[in-house]
Structure 1
Amino acid sequence: MSRFERVRGRLRRAYESSRESVRARRTDPTDAPGPAGVASPTSPGPVAPPSATVVGAEPPAAMHNSTSSRDDADVPHALRIAAAWSWRLIVIGVVAWALLKIVGTIKIVVIPLAVALLLSALLAPAVGWLLRARFPRSLATAVVLVGGLAAVVGTLTLVVNEFIQGVPELSKKSSEGVRQIQDWLKTGPLHLSDGQLDRYIEEGQDWINNNTERFTSGALSTAATLAEVLTGTLLVLFATFFFLRDGNKIWRFLVRLLPVAARWKVDDAGRASWSTLVAYVRATVLVAFIDAVGIGIFLVVFDIPFAFPLAALVFLGAFIPIVGATLSGGVAVLVALVDSGPVTALIILGVVIGVQQVEGHLLQPLIMGRAVAIHPLAVIIGIAAGVVLAGITGALVSVPLIAVLNTAVRRLAARTVPDTPPDAVVVASQAP
C-alpha cells in the first residue's frame, strides 16, 4: 500500500470518527459539555453558553412549523395552503379524467359488469335462502339465475303479445285522433285554413324525405348494435353467475392484493358497500312494483289499451329515481289521450302525479331512506351526469354508484378499527 493511500485512509477514519461523535452528541440529551473551554470525549472543543452571541454571524431565519426553507417562510400561509390544495386537486382531476377515458374505451365490458353487479345484488338473497336449505352453491346459483331469466322472458313475451294484438286498434284510433286534432286546429283558437294545414303537412313530409338517408344509416348500424347487445347480454349472464357463486372468493382475492395494513379497512368498507347496494336494489324493486301496480290498476279500470305493457314500462322506469316513473307514466297519458280522449288522459295524468307524490313523500323516505341516505340534489346531479356519459345505462347505474361510494368513503374515513374477523389468526412475536 502506498503512502498516499495510507494517508487517505487515516483521513477517512478521522472524518468518520468525528461524524460519529457529533451524531452521538446530538442524540444523547444527557450529555452535557464539560467546563467552559475544556474538551471532553463528546465535546472535543470549547462550547459557547446558550446566551452567548457570536459576533459577525447572521441572525437565524424565522421558520414556521409547516415550512422547510426560507423561501416557504416568505410565502403567506394562506397562499401556501391554496397551492397545496390546488396541485392535489389537479392530480385527482387528471386521475379521474384518465379513469373516465379508460371506462369510455372499454364501456362494452364495464356496462355489462355493472348490470351484472346490480342483478347479483338483487338475486343474492335468493341464493342465500337456497344455501341455507342445503343446496350446493353452484346448483343454487343456477336455479336462481334460470328462474330470474325465465321470469324476464315470460314478462317480455306477455308484453309483446299484448302489444301485437292491440296495435291495429290503436292505429285506427290514432288516425281518428289526428283528424280530431286537425279539426281543432281549424275551429280552435288558431283558426288555421286548409292551405296552411296542407303546407305544414308537406313540410313534414319533405323533412322525412330529406332525413331518410340518416334513418337508413341508423338502420344499417342496427346489426352492429344488435351484436353488441347480444355480446353484452351473454357477458351479463356469465358475470352474474360467477358473482353469485364466487363473489366472496373474488373479493378476498382483490383484498389480498392490497398492503397488509390496509386489508381490514378496505374489506370492511367493501362489505358495507355491498350491503348498501343490496338494500338499494331491493328497495328500488319494491318501490317500482308499487308504482307499476298503482298506475296499472287505473289503466285497467279506465280500459286503456296496453295496460300490462305500460305497467311493465312504469316498473322498469322506476329504476331511474325521481324521473324514470314520471317519463314512463307520460307514455301512459299519451296512450290514454289517443285512445279515450283528453278527459281520460287528464285523469291518468292525475293518477301518475298522485303516485309520484306518494312515492316521493312516503315510499322513498320510508323504504329507500332506510337503505341509503342520499340527498335528492346528489341524485339529480348523478342522473344527469350518467345520462351525459353513458345514456340510459348511465342513468340506471349512477345512483347506486353514488350510494356505494358514499358508504365506502364514510367507512374508510372513520377512525374506528374494524372488528377482527372470526377466522383471523393472530401471531404474537416472542420477546428476545
Structure 2
Amino acid sequence: MIGVGTPDWESSKVPPLLRVSAALSWRFVAVVGALYIVSQAVGYMASVMIPVGIALLLAALLSPAVTQLTRVGVPRGLATGFVLVGGLAVVGGVLTFVITEFSNGLPELQNQVTASLSTIRDWLKDGPLHLSELQLQQYVDQLLETVKANQGEITSGALTTAATVGELLTGLVLALFTLIFFLHDGDGIWRFITRIVPRDVRARADLAGRRGFASLVSYVRATAVVAVVDAVGVGIGLWIVGVPLVVPLAALVFLGAFIPIVGAVITGVVAVLIALVANGPVAAAVVLAILIGVMQLESHVLQPLLLGRAVKLHPLAVVLAISTGLVVAGIAGALLSVPLLAVLNSGIRSLLSDADKHVDPRRVDVDEPQASAPKDLGDEHRVDELGSDDDDKKKESGRGRR
C-alpha cells in the first residue's frame, strides 16, 4: 500500500540539482514554445500586424502635436485632421523633391556608368588579364544566354514584385486608416484593451502600458534626430566629393537610420558603390571615410546621449532584436523590433518598480519623455481602482480630519 510519505521518499531519492534543473527545463521549454507560437502567429498575420505597428510608430511621432493643439482649444478631431494633412503634405513634398532630383541626376549617372564600364573594358584588355575582344564578346554572349534561359524566373519575379506592390499599397491604406483612429481616440482604445485585465491589477497594467508608449514616443523622437544628423552628414560629404544623386542618397540614409546600428550602414554602402561607379575608387574611399565618421558620431555620441536615455537598452540587445525581427518579418521586422523591445522594457520595469505602485495612470503624460521613467508621486496620487466612489470616500475622510 502506498503511504502518505511515499512522495517525500521518492523525491528524496532525486538529487536537488536534478529537481531544480528539471523544473527550470520544462519552464524554459514552455516559454520557448509560447514565443515560437507567437512568432508564427505574427508571421502569419504580418500583412495586418506590420501596418498596425507602423501606424503605432507614426502615432508616437504625431500624437504630441495633436495633444498640443488640443491644449490650446482645438477639438481633437480637427487637430487630428490638421496633423494628418500637414504630415502627408510634408511627406508628399519630400518624396516629390527626392523623385525629381533622382530623375534629374539619372542621365548624368548613366553617362558616368557608361564611362566606367568603358574603363573596366579597357582595363580587362590592357591590364594584367589581357583579354581579347573575342573573349569579352563571349562573356557578354554568355550573360545574354543566361538571361534568356532564366526568363521564366525573371517574369515570375516581376509578377511577384507587382503583387508585392499591391500588398504594399493595401498596407499603406490600412496603416493610414489605423493611424487616424490612434491619433483621434488612442486613449479610449487603450482603456478598452485594459478591460480584459483583472480588476485588481488593471491599474498597474494600465500604467505599464502608458510608460511603454511614453518610451516609444521618446524612441521615435531620438531616432528622428539621429536620422537627420546621419542624412545631413552623409549628404554634405557626398556633395563635397561630387557624387551624383546627393539628395536621394541622403534621403535613403535618413530612412535607413530608423533601423538602429545597421540601417544607416547598409544605405551608406549604396552611396559608396555609386561613388565607386560614378567617380572612381578615390572618391569611393573618401565617401567610405565620411560614412565611418558619421557612424562613429552616431555610435559614441548620439546613440548613448539620445537613444540611451530614451529606451535604456544595451547595444547587444538592440542587435539581437534587429536580427530576430529580420528573421521573423524581414525589413519590417527589423524596423519594428527595437521599438517593441523598448516598449516591453519600459513596461516591465514599471511593473517591477515599487515607485509605480501609488501612481495614478491618468496622471501620466505619455507625450512627455520623462513619463517613461517611473517615479513615486506620493500617496496623494494613489490609484483609484474603484473610480468615483473612492474619490467620494477620500473627500469625506478629508473633511473629517479638518
The TM-score normalised by the length of structure 1 is 0.80
2:305 maps to which residue?
366
* Alpha-carbon RMSD: 2.1
Q: Deviations over 1:303-347 (max 9, x none)?
A: 322111111001001111111111111111222222222222221
Aligned-residue offset at 1:195: 4.0
Q: Does 1:166 align with 2:111?
A: no
Of 257, 260, 278, the residue aligned with 2:217 is 278
Aligned-partner Cα distance in 2 for 1:329–1:389 = 24
SS at match of 1:403: helix
Residue in structure 1 matched with residue 116 of structure 2 by the alignment: 177
Q: Quick one: structure 1 residues 195 and 171, their matched pair in 2 at CA, closer, same or farther if it must change by over 3 Å?
A: same
Partners of 2:260 and 2:356 in 1: CA distance: 35
Q: Which residue of 1 aligns with 2:257?
A: 318
| Residue among 372, 375, 383 paired with 2:322 | 383
Find the structure with the greater CA-based Rg: 1
**Which residue of 2 is the match for residue 21 of structure 1?**
none
- Judged with a 3 Å threshold, the aligned counterparts in structure 2 of structure 1 residues 60 and 263 are, in CA distance, closer, same or farther, namely closer
Residues 1:270 and 1:60: Cα distance change in structure 2 (over 3 Å): closer
- Identical positions, percent: 50
Is the partner of 1:221 in helix, strand or coil? helix
Q: Is the 8 A contact 1:336 1:344 kept in 2?
A: yes
Matched ranges for 1:28-427 at <5 A: 69-421=8-360, 424=384, 425=387, 427=390
The AA in structure 1 aligned to 2:150 is N
2:367 matched to which residue of 1? Answer: none
How far apart, in 2, do the equivalents of 1:413 and 1:185 lie?
Answer: 66
Gaps of 5+ in 1: 1-58
- Distance (Å, rounded) in 2 between the aligned partners of 1:390 and 1:169: 37
> Can you list the C-alpha shifts for 1:150-206, whole angstroms capped at 9, x where unaligned?
111111111111212222221121111011112223333444444443333333222
> Residue 325 of structure 2 contacts residue 334 of structure 2 at CA under 8 Å; is this kept in 1?
yes
Structure 2: which amino acid aligns with 1:139?
L
Secondary structure class of the residue paired with 1:149? helix
Query: Partners in 1 of 2:355 and 2:11 — Cα distance?
Result: 35
Residues 116 and 239, structure 1, Cα contact 8 Å, conserved in 2: yes
| Stretch moving more, 174-183 or 187-196 | 187-196
Moved over 6 A (4+): none
Q: 1:264 touches 1:418 (CA, 8 Å); kept in 2?
A: no
Shift of 1:216: 0.4
| Distance in 2, Cα, partners of 1:420 & 1:394 | 33
Contact 2:241 2:286 in 1 (8 A): no
Worse-superposed segment, 399-408 or 314-323: 399-408
State the AA in 2 paired with 1:354: G
Cα distance change on mapping 1:415 and 1:76 into 2, 3 Å: farther
Q: 1:280 aligns to what SS in structure 2?
A: helix
Separation in structure 1 between the aligned mates of residue 114 and residue 96 of structure 2, nearest angstrom = 27
In structure 2, what is the Cα distance between the partners aligned to 1:60 and 1:163?
A: 82
**Aligned-pair distance for 1:274?**
0.7
Which structure has more relative contact order (CA 8 Å, sep 6+)? It is: 2
Q: Indicate how the Cα distance of structure 1 residues 126 and 60 shifts in structure 2: closer, same or farther if over 3 A, else same.
A: closer
Distance in 1, matches of 2:279 and 2:166, equals: 40
CA 337–272 in structure 1, closer or farther in 2 if over 3 Å, else same: same
Name the TM-score, length of structure 2 as normaliser.
0.86
Instruction: List gaps (5 residues or longer) in structure 2.
Output: 361-380, 394-402
User: Per-residue displacement from partner, 1:41-98 (whole Å, max 9, x unpaired)?
Assistant: xxxxxxxxxxxxxxxxxx995x9xxxx6432232111111111111112222222222
Count how many residue pairs are aligned between Structure 1 and Structure 2: 366
- SS of 2:357's equivalent in the other structure is coil
